[in-house]
Amino acid sequence: MDYNTELQSGETLQNVPQKNPQKIPVLWFVATLVLCAVFIFVSVPRASAQGEEQDSKKYTSIIQSVFDFIQKRYVEEVDPKVLYEGTMTGMFNALGDPYTAFLPESAMSDLNDTTQGNFGGVGLYISKPTGARPDGKPAYVEVASPIEDTPGARAGISPGDLIVEINDESTDALTMDEVLSRLRGAPGVDVRLLIRRGEKLVFPVTLTRAIIEVPTVKHAMIEKIGYLKLLTFTPMSVDRTREALEDFKNQGYTSFILDLRNNYGGLLHSAVGISDLFLEGGVVVSTKSRISSENAVFTARRGAVVPSNIPIVVLINRGSASASEIVAGALKDRGRAYLVGEKSYGKGSVQQVFPLEKAGFRITTARYYTPSDVNIDKIGIPPDREVLFPEFTNDEAEKLSALITDNKIPAFVEANPDASPARVDTFAKELNTEYMIDLTLLRRLIWNEQTRTAIAPVYDLEYDVQLQEAVNILQNGNFGQLMQTTKTLRELQNEATVEETALAS
């Protein structure tokens, strides 16, 4: 049996043999030896390598001895799995890397769902209160949205529906992990739900699990602008983006917006594949590791899907990370797109995922570099044009907190599900008089609540100031002049270094 290795923001690179342990203490020991083997580097001097090997053997022996001692001498009997998971968690936490971690079975399962791009389930986005509801009602699971063309959607389950029971078990007392474990599983198996809609309508629904594709792309036209929101990078992202681009082409698009906001990343090969749609050959990204044989340069192919005469604006914010930054960095450094929004998160490292039976671990193995050879880890990518949403003062934050506590907006939306824009505006003005909060913000909060219990539109051109600016740039006709003023990340980094040197002197 082989380890199936994947990158947290990358793809399968190699196979590492896995042994088949007979007992959990032996499993822990074998896993430790495997890890020790991983960290022996041939590039170090021989004497140093021998010293490291001796230290590894010494510490491995000590850990095994302590493991055995606790099992034999602790005041109560201890489950070896608890010691194993605690040891693994502590070992990876000791590295001080937020992206390196031991993954228990539930975390490994969730990660596999994302990286594989599909899973067995019923096709519902759900949420659940972590504690008692403010109104005292049971903390049932709420449907945020059904996924199109899935069992949940075909059964007519709607946003805002409550899942009261799953297979005759109340969801009130279940954790979110427990809810997911009951909804997900082998395709072809029936799951019985009890649905509550509104205050009085309660009805049973039986759903047969199917393979659910992780949603990755939303797209729509904004006049002659093709707008595509990329939610995450999965194995399906490139194909779904190609389909969207073909749709834009058929509708005669003349410019394009790629929205990477709040996209936390995903697979490296998907990021390279997305960049490939817009670039005519050349470097997309490179990775550099302690092990020289794992260094790699990823390039685009000739023949971009999006013609070079189509202007592109990329939207980024503080939630754009990892694979999103690979795409944004590639398009910026190659002079192919204009970036609008906020500085991105700044995750410039690559992780691989290794399984350990049903659990596993994620470990940083390399850093990635943009085409101008810049690593943006803990730095981020600055936009060419910064557009920020209003920040709250302490006074405004207190007023907003009071409004949320009073629950007036959810109560209004529940009582007025089909409120007209005029009615919403009147209500916003009433809240403005009472709480002295900006009217635009109030309208946006009401809109957010309305779309929380409905299928949200692909974009929000009325309240989204960053999207508004992107549209303005593409419609004003000066895109070419703007692109002449942009700089690569290397140029920006060099300028920052010169400024820091001047200040220091």
Mind telling me the catalytic residues? 322, 333, 347
**Alpha helices of 155-198 — where are they, by DSSP H?**
176-183
Nearest Cα to 331, choosing from 315, 349, 354?
Answer: 315
Query: Which residues on neighbouring strands pair with residue 221, listed in sequence order?
Result: 226
CB 234 within 8 A of CB 217: no
Asked if 20 and 1 count as a contact pair (C-beta separation under 8 A), the reply is yes
Separation of CA 127 from chain center: 17
Rounded Cα distance, 42 and 39, in Å: 10
Kind of pairing between the strands at 296-299 and 349-356: unpaired
For residue 166, the SS3 value is strand
Q: How many CA atoms lie within 13 A of 6 on its CB side?
A: 19
**Which one, of 171, 351, 385, 361, lies nearest residue 268 by Cα?**
351
> 3-state DSSP call for residue 234?
coil
Contacts of 20 (CB under 8 A, 6+ apart): 1
Tokens of 275: 């960049």
> Can you list the alpha helix ranges (DSSP code H) found in 201-322?
237-250, 268-276
Report yes or no: 404 and 445 within 8 Å, Cβ to Cβ.
no
The full 3-state SS of 359-380, as one line of letters, equals EEEEEEEEEEECCCCCCCCCCC
Residues facing residue 210 across a β-bridge = 121
What is the enclosing helix (H) or strand (E) of 115?
helix 105-116
Nearest of 291, 269, 469 to residue 363 by alpha carbon? 291
Q: Is 334 helix (H, G, I), strand (E, B) or coil?
A: coil
| Euclidean distance between CA atoms 444 and 450, whole angstroms | 10
Name the maximum alpha-carbon separation found in the chain: 79
- Tally of CB atoms within 10 A around 312: 21
Rounded-to-integer distance, Cα 284 and Cα 4, Å: 25
**Would you state the structure tokens that stand for residue 214, as one six-digit string?**
């992780």
CA distance 102 to 409: 41
